[in-house]
Structure 1
Amino acid sequence: MNYKIRRPNDDESSPNYPNNTQESWERNTLRDVLLEAYHEQKRARLWRNIWRGVGVLMFVSIMASAMKGSPENRQHQIATHKEHTAVINLTGVIGGNEDVNHVEILRDGLEEAFKNKHAKAIIIHANSPGGSPVVSNVAFQEVMRLKNMEKTKPVYVVIGDMCASGCYYIASAADKIYADPSSLVGSIGVIGSSFDATGLMDKLGVKRRQRIAGNNKGMGDPFSPETPEQVAIWQQMLNQIHAEFIKAVKLGRGNKLKEQQNPDLFSGRVYTGLESKNVGLIDEFGNVYSVARDVVKAPKLVDYTPEQNDLASLISRGLGAKMNTKLESWLNSVW
């Protein structure tokens, strides 16, 4: 559709009258551009409103889930009002994942279980190769603190496939330790390792240029030779950490350990469940089911392991710093 504004004195036959064809093309082009811009703006507004609506629905759904709980959470709530055995899972490399805080898992799970009068005992179900000595020591201290403070119900560790090194560090805080005869237990030692690539560099004709302030600042660099003094420093550090490990195990296990009959008890070796009972690293054989049924006399198992990565759990903990960060990022992407 073409639009023209004509004045009474305009004469289309006049040589001064604009070219109708060119004028019409320019007008149509301008109209098409404006219409397309209008439609594009309208579409953008529509999708923005749609996404806002979706965002609000998602937020409301998450809030409702956090407040009311999932079917599993509702079952958990029902189960906790009956006599049961509380279970807290200790899995993975201790301190090996920044998204999983093993200290918080144990502390929060233990606190919740101790508060529930229907939980007759607490089982820490351990299946870990170990990990950070610092995280292990903090977890050990927290288990000991809560156990000694509450004194209302026993804390047992039941070992699955493995509870070695840092995992056993934590396990030694329990009142009793149970394992399968084929479980791997112990490894009470400390390891620190690296590579010496100086021989390879010599063969390749490559020399290391390293500038340091302090004779031992580059200690541990695989491309620099290690001095006898640095070897002694490394060994001293490992010995000190090992001594702390041994002290914690002795504090937790006490006279159950048969150290005199087994001089290699703290050598870092791993024992089977059969061997570990003979040397005093565990008390009896058992699994979560047999311990709950035969020892605690409360066969119903209820998982008290706190969830650490789901959004609903973060909301239910009071919109902490981590929740605020996730929520801000999500809202920015929606809006």
Structure 2
Amino acid sequence: MSDEQRRDGESPEMKGEQPEEVKDRWTQGPDVSQHVNDSAVSAGGVGNSVGDDAETLRERQRLAQLEMMDRWIGGVLTEQRRTRRWKLFFRLMLLTIVLVSLTTTVYQVWWAESVATVPTQPHLGLVEVHGVIASDAPANAERIIRGLNRAWSSDNAAAVVLHIDSPGGSPVQSQRIYAEIMRLREQGNKPIYAVIEDIGASGAYYIASAADEIMASPASLVGSIGVIYAGFGFQEAINKLGVERRVVTAGENKAFLDPFQPLDENVEEFWQSVLNQTHTQFINDVRAGRGDRLADSPEVFSGLVWSGEQALALGLVDELASLEQLARAEVGGARWEDYTPRLDPFERLTRRFTQAAAEVLGVSSSSSPLRFESP
């Protein structure tokens, strides 16, 4: 074998060369080395690591890692400060919205009503009865009674007018309003009228019957003097679904209206007696308010709804007239003022949300199962 071949076959150990160490790409890669060199140059050191011992190189790598860590921590802190600033911004915006809402509510409830200009000319004092009559609805007894007393005590209100557009609602709320109208009517200081727009049925007609006179349009819907309870029976459905109903009561009839149990004959008879008694109260109060003007016909109290023209013939209304016609007859012009207390905007929003949720869930928002309401 020649000398050249022997030289080519020699191993690195035989040539006197040392094997290269395995490099860690995270601490000894080209990027780190370049960063170390740049840091060394910026610090006034030598930019080339050739000739440096291993300890010096490791120290420079450690410093480079610390510098990168400092940059990372700085970025994290900057992001946290930015996040805190946005949180603070949104909290301030929310606080501003709440303060503006509260200010608007206080203004409308206290200040706006107190500074509202009441006409100095004679006018009709309107009290609006719109929508379902219920304790949790705009047409509730407390609000309507407050409006009645405000219109009654106004010196320039020549008459109090119940402006009705309602299918009825709660028997208790209707009875409270009826009683207050009758109390004011007995004082005799000024007339009280009921003007029915599209519909004045059931509980709404209960209220109207307390007025001195009732007016309606020829096509208005009037009447529905009756009481209704409506529910569902799910006992067959629950059996088919294989669902077990668990109800624990104290009192054998406590759950007598449970829709998942069949309606017993005795229970149905009892519940019918409750409806009949409430219906009797309705009839007696309508007769007390209308007197001899009612026609002597059993159909008047059968729960039927009549047109305004038919209602006139049955004595359920006194005249076919509009609000404008009444105003011209009473005060010589179409002048009226709404005395119904304004609704709190937040309360109005809450009520709408509650009603929408009740409709979605298929439940009634009223606390009473009985209704003076048009079907």
Q: Residue 319 of structure 2 is aligned with which of 262, 284, 304?
A: 284
Residue identity opposite 1:307 in structure 2? R
Q: Deviations over 1:173-229 (max 9, x none)?
A: 212110112211111111223345567778x59797565553323323344333331
> Contact 1:65 / 1:312 at 8 angstroms: preserved in 2?
no
- Please state how far the C-alpha of 1:311 moved relative to its aligned partner: 4.5
Aligned counterpart, 2:271: 234
Distance in 2 (alpha carbons) for counterparts of 1:209 and 1:50: 47
Residue identity opposite 1:231 in structure 2? E
Q: Deviations over 1:66-107 (max 9, x none)?
A: 5489xxx69x93453443222222111211x72535213312
TM (normalized to structure 2)?
A: 0.67
Q: Residue 116 of structure 2 is aligned with which of 77, 84, 89?
A: 77
Judge which range, 170-179 or 19-28, deviates more: 19-28
1:218 aligned to 2:255? yes
Unaligned runs of 5+ in 1: 7-11, 315-321, 323-335
Q: Residue 135 of structure 1 is aligned with which of 167, 170, 173?
A: 173
Distance in 1 (alpha carbons) for counterparts of 2:87 and 2:234: 59
Distance in 1 (alpha carbons) for counterparts of 2:80 and 2:290: 73
Distance in 1 (alpha carbons) for counterparts of 2:43 and 2:185: 92
- Identify if the C-alpha distance between structure 1 residues 245 and 41 changes in structure 2 by more than 3 Å, giving closer, same or farther: same
TM (normalized to structure 1)?
A: 0.74
Aligned counterpart, 2:329: 294
Distance in 2 (alpha carbons) for counterparts of 1:214 and 1:32: 71
Distance in 1 (alpha carbons) for counterparts of 2:164 and 2:108: 30
From the CA coordinates, give the structure whose radius of gyration is larger: 2
> Contact 2:108 / 2:342 at 8 angstroms: preserved in 1?
no
1:310 aligned to 2:345? yes
> Contact 1:62 / 1:312 at 8 angstroms: preserved in 2?
no
Unaligned runs of 5+ in 2: 1-37, 45-50, 351-375
> Contact 1:88 / 1:125 at 8 angstroms: preserved in 2?
yes
> Where do residues 1-335 of structure 1 align in structure 2 (5 Å cutoff)?
13=52, 15-17=54-56, 18-38=58-78, 40-41=80-81, 44-45=84-85, 48=88, 52=92, 55-56=95-96, 59=99, 63=103, 67=107, 77-78=116-117, 80-95=119-134, 98-148=136-186, 151-196=188-233, 213-258=250-295, 261-311=296-346
- Identify if the C-alpha distance between structure 1 residues 77 and 236 changes in structure 2 by more than 3 Å, giving closer, same or farther: same
User: May I ask how many residue pairs the two structures share in their alignment?
Assistant: 302
> Contact 2:226 / 2:303 at 8 angstroms: preserved in 1?
yes
- Identify if the C-alpha distance between structure 1 residues 29 and 146 changes in structure 2 by more than 3 Å, giving closer, same or farther: farther
- Identify if the C-alpha distance between structure 1 residues 221 and 67 changes in structure 2 by more than 3 Å, giving closer, same or farther: closer
Aligned counterpart, 1:328: none
Judge which range, 276-285 or 19-28, deviates more: 19-28
Residue identity opposite 2:126 in structure 1? V
- Please state how far the C-alpha of 1:155 moved relative to its aligned partner: 1.8
Q: Deviations over 1:226-263 (max 9, x none)?
A: 333112101110011111111221222223223xx212
Judge which range, 106-115 or 232-241, deviates more: 106-115
Residue identity opposite 1:87 in structure 2? L
Question: Residue 178 of structure 2: SS of its match in structure 1?
Answer: helix
- Identify if the C-alpha distance between structure 1 residues 198 and 29 changes in structure 2 by more than 3 Å, giving closer, same or farther: closer
> Contact 2:294 / 2:316 at 8 angstroms: preserved in 1?
yes
Distance in 2 (alpha carbons) for counterparts of 1:53 and 1:194: 46
Distance in 2 (alpha carbons) for counterparts of 1:311 and 1:2: 63
Q: Deviations over 1:264-288 (max 9, x none)?
A: 2222122221221222211111111
Distance in 1 (alpha carbons) for counterparts of 2:268 and 2:126: 44
Distance in 1 (alpha carbons) for counterparts of 2:39 and 2:173: 79
Residue identity opposite 1:122 in structure 2? V
Question: Residue 133 of structure 2: SS of its match in structure 1?
Answer: coil
Residue identity opposite 2:59 in structure 1? N
- Identify if the C-alpha distance between structure 1 residues 296 and 81 changes in structure 2 by more than 3 Å, giving closer, same or farther: closer
Q: Percent identity?
A: 32
- Please state how far the C-alpha of 1:165 moved relative to its aligned partner: 0.6
Distance in 2 (alpha carbons) for counterparts of 1:240 and 1:171: 21
Residue identity opposite 1:288 in structure 2? L
Distance in 2 (alpha carbons) for counterparts of 1:175 and 1:251: 11
Distance in 2 (alpha carbons) for counterparts of 1:49 and 1:206: 53
